[in-house]
Amino acid sequence: MLGDHLVFPIVLSMDLAASRAFYHDTLGLDILREDDERIMFRCGGGSQLTVSLSTTGTADTQTQLAWRVPDLQAELADLRARGVPIQEYDLPDPKTADGIADMGFAWAAWIVDPSRNVLGIIQPKDPSVSRAS
C-alpha cells in the first residue's frame, strides 16, 4: 500500500544553478545525483528531495514540502546563521512570532527557495509524532 512507503517530493526550479547553491551550499543537503534536468538531494530517514528544471516554475505560494524536525528553534538558528531568511506572516492563519506559527498540532516556520518554492519546517507538539520519522 502506498501509505507504507516514503515519498520523494519534487519542486520546480527555473535556475538549477541557483537551486543547487541554495539546497547544497546554503542548506547543506548532500547531492545524490544531478544532471541537466534535475538534482536529487539526500534528506533524513532515507528520503530525498528532487529539484527539477522547469520553464515556468511554480505560481503557487502555499507550502510545497516540509521537513519534520524535533527542535524548530535549533533549526531556525542554524538557518539564520547560514543567512536564510525566515518568513514572517501577519495573517489570521498563519501568524508568526519570530518566524514561528502555532498551528495547533505543531509549531511551523517557512523559508523560500530561489524559485519561490515555499518550504516548511515543522515541529509536532506530540513528541511521539517526531520519533516516528
* % of the chain with per-residue pLDDT over 70: 95
Cell numbers standing for residue 25: 551550499
| C-alpha gyration radius of the chain | 15
- Burial string for 69-88 (b: 16+ CB within 10 Å, else e) reads beebeebbeebeeeebebee
Q: What are 17-59's pLDDT values in tens digits?
A: 999 999 999 999 999 999 999 999 999 989 999 999 998 888 7
**What average pLDDT does this structure show over 107-120?**
95
Under the banding of pLDDT at 50, 70 and 90, the label for residue 128 is: low
How many angstroms separate the CA atoms of 46 and 81, rounded? 26
Report domain extents, the chain.
2-131
Cα–Cα nearest to 93, from 77, 85, 104, 78: 104
Q: Which residue has the higher pLDDT, 94 or 128?
A: 94
Q: Has residue 131 got a pLDDT over 60? A: no
Are 42 and 32 spatial neighbours (Cβ–Cβ below 8 Å)? yes
How many angstroms separate the CA atoms of 61 and 90, rounded? 15
Q: What are 74-111's pLDDT values in tens digits?
A: 999 999 999 999 999 998 778 999 999 999 999 999 99
**What average pLDDT does this structure show over 109-128?**
91
CATH topology classification for 2-131: 2,3-Dihydroxybiphenyl 1,2-Dioxygenase; domain 1 (3.10.180)
pLDDT of the residue at 127: 65
| Residue pointed to by grid coordinates 516540509 | 66
Which is it for strands 48-53 and 10-13: parallel, antiparallel or unpaired?
A: parallel
pTM beyond 0.85, yes or no: yes
Cell numbers standing for residue 126: 506530540
